[in-house]
Structure 1
């Protein structure tokens, strides 16, 4: 079971990042892929997702109307997809939709109950920005800040963060509301964000975020 090294969970922002600014009504909670197929016993299980779920739940419960959940939708069958996604769906054939129980694609029940007013965006790749209307939805809200939670720190969360940075969003990572199936990669990514993206990516605990998001 993962440990999620606690030594990397203190708040820090470099290069004059706006870490002291409160979160207002231009802030949105983007929760990445907290789905049953990652929480339960499947080939893609993320073992310590249950441990971070209470923190994700607290953020969603505090502002359900300002929460957007993403869901990763696997290929329909092995071999489907463009380029390496075709071989990916072959490698994970048991996780394609023709073999996977349909309800395993759903959000975990503790979070699904917030929809609506929370919204859901489905995606077929790691990034929630490609072939979705996520940016349009955020622009419609005049959002400028994304609080990011979910799974996995080093895969779909990474894609969400870097895409958000490229689009100019202020990114705040809830460090105790992220999980991965690889402890080393999880810790390395949190270190990278702090060392290399300090002006655009901030790291805080859930408690620190909720204290500023009233």
Structure 2
């Protein structure tokens, strides 16, 4: 019930616009930030214990969240207070994807992936989302190379789940190279590490893990393409 209450309050705010928004922000910005935080908690609760078919309220919640982030007035006045909460929310979503071993997990992953793609296309969050995804892919690639070198068993569930992160990354990077969103320089530690290790990953893993190697190669091509556009 509280989830619905926060959802309705925020939806009214995003639909109001103009002077109504500024008046609300000046008088009640703390309450609005709290509603955003509670909305994120409600979404996370669903993703941890999903029930299908997905409720229309959850679809609306994601839509309202995106509207809040992309609205210039609202994001400047409210979401700067919730940025750490949003980053934590994204990290939790990624961990749910990676750790999920349920038989029907792919339906859950599709829903989470869609949310992460929408968040990653927002200017405010795009760099942090891509850096987060690259960090997880880098870490998994390192672990897979190590287990492969010593001929140890690898985590099959995590191997299957990592492709969801690769697909999210691919969609975000494709959106940039196709001009659907403005270019952004991802010249950070995770990107540099990914590109630096790209050839070694493909060389060592291509024979036994061809699908993963192909995805890594495609992501590398997209990262290089976005870098060339910026230059």
TM-score over 0.5 for the alignment? Answer: no
* Larger proportion of strand: 1
Higher relative contact order (CA 8 A, sep 6+): 1
* Larger proportion of helix: 2
When Rg is computed on C-alpha atoms for both structures, the one with the higher figure is 2
**TM-score, structure 2 length as denominator?**
0.27
